[in-house]
Amino acid sequence: MNFGFNSNVRVGSALFHVQTEDRGPSHPFLDTVVYRAGLVVHKRSTSYQDLAGSAVDGGGLAQQLHERLAQQHREVIAQLEAGTLHLKALADAPAPAAAVASYEGLDVRLLNPKSWLASGNATLEVELRRRGSTEEIGGADIEAFLEREKVRSAPIRASADVQGRATLKFPLPSAVAEGTALVIRATDGDLYGELRFRLKARRGDASAARPSK
């Protein structure tokens, strides 16, 4: 079971992205990562081995896990807004945040924006480059998922090849709720990049959707 929450949080003039997710029973931890300008500034990981090893049925386990995940996500945001969360990049970075932002990040590009959807199946041709340069990023982790009201679907994952490219394929639901976004996200160590589209169903064809930024 995979759950996740994503929030953009503004503190003063700084904009942060907070991501909390469960990576599944093979890695029974709830991971929260805080990004600023594509740079990881805080990480938190808590085990849920106590739940994984309990006798709670599947539905009850999913509910408890979802509640615990939401609580951790809220706690990190509350500490961030209160100024009590330790932010590594802000405390230790040798260069100003603005200078870091121009370089330390990933540009995520969709190479087939007009043909990514066919017969209800998504095929995302993705390319990664280091922000502010033409350097291709190979080996980065890429994931794609649908998100609505800060709740996301189980992600589809791939790794970029030596040219910084990857293909992600998955069926798109026949009915897409209003406000749903398609998110393509990439991470490589402390580097981070994201591409987000608003999905729109075409009139007379609920299974066909086209992204609009």
Instruction: Name the pLDDT band for 5 (thresholds 50, 70, 90).
Output: confident
Instruction: Name the pLDDT band for 103 (thresholds 50, 70, 90).
Output: very low
Three-state SS sequence of 110-138: ECCCCCCEECCEEEEEEEEEECCCCCECC
Residue 48 amino acid letter:
Y
Residue 163 reports pLDDT greater than 80: yes
Domains in the chain: ranges and CATH: 4-92 (no CATH), 105-212 (2.60.40.10)
- In the structure encoding, which two tokens stand for residue 83, read together? 């100024």
Model confidence over 23-61: pLDDT tens digits? 777 778 899 999 887 778 899 999 888 876 665 565 677
Model confidence over 126-141: pLDDT tens digits? 999 988 788 888 888 8
Residue 164 reports pLDDT greater than 90: yes
Model confidence over 62-97: pLDDT tens digits? 788 888 988 999 999 999 998 899 887 554 443 333
